[in-house]
Structure formats: C-alpha cells, structure tokens
Amino acid sequence: MSVREVTYYQVVCDHPGCTVATGDDGGPHSAWSSRDGAVWDWTCGDGQTVDDRHYCEAHRVPECCDCGATDSLVKHDDGDHYCPTHILTVRSTP
Ligand SMILES: [Zn+2]
Ligand SMILES: [Zn+2]
C-alpha cells in the first residue's frame, strides 16, 4: 500500500495575531477535505463568516441583524446592530 499526501482545509481567524482555527472549539475534526466543509463547520460553531473573512467568537464583528451587513452600522437601544436601512425599519416599529 502506498502513502500519498492529501490537502485538507482549515478556517483561521482573520483578526491580526489570532491563531484560533477550526478544531479549537473541541469539535471532532480540525480540518476538512473541502473548503466549504471547513467554512460550514466554522460558521456552525461560534465562528463568524463575513464575505470572505472569518472571525472567531472573541473577534466577531457586529453585523446587521436583518441582512448581515457590517458597514456603517448603528447600535439600537436594545444592543443589536443594524445597517442604515434596517435601523429605520426597527425604529419605526412601535
Ligand atoms: Zn480571533
Ligand atoms: Zn440591514
């Protein structure tokens, strides 16, 4: 039987200096045979995926509760964040 090298994928937090990766959350796997598998596990755990960037639980960035946008967010009185469009929806609701 021959032994050959295969490629596996991990998601690593994009926060500068952070080394948290898939598998650090105590799950059964630390790497996946597909990129999608790794991203799926990261997102199903405590990790966050924003466009093509990934953040661990400690480094999650705020995102709009309605659409997931991360730019120009406004913090609502209840502590949640909304984009400029959706903060208007929330505030106009009695
Ligand atoms: Zn991190
Ligand atoms: Zn929004």
Query: For the segment 40-61, what is each residue's pLDDT rounded down to a tens digit?
Result: 999 988 899 988 899 999 999 9
| Cα–Cα dist 68/89, whole Å | 15
What pLDDT is stored for residue 93 in this prediction?
62
Do 68 and 34 fall within a single domain?
Answer: no
**Of 1, 19, 61, 2, residue with least CA distance to 10:** 19
Burial of 36 (0-12, 13-18, 19+ CB in 10 A): exposed
Do 86 and 44 fall within a single domain?
Answer: no
Ligand 2 center to residue 77 CA distance, Å?
A: 16
Which domain, by its residues, includes 20? 1-60
Do 74 and 39 fall within a single domain?
Answer: no
Do 8 and 43 fall within a single domain?
Answer: yes
What pLDDT is stored for residue 28 in this prediction?
75
The answer, yes or no, to whether residue 87 has pLDDT greater than 70, is yes
Answering whether pTM is above 0.85, one says no
| Cα–Cα dist 46/71, whole Å | 21
| Cα–Cα dist 76/83, whole Å | 10
Ligand 2 center to residue 66 CA distance, Å?
A: 5
Ligand nearest to the CA of 11: 1
Do 10 and 50 fall within a single domain?
Answer: yes
Are 11 and 31 in contact by the 8 Å Cβ rule? The answer is: no
10-26 pLDDT, tens digit per residue, is 999 999 999 999 988 67
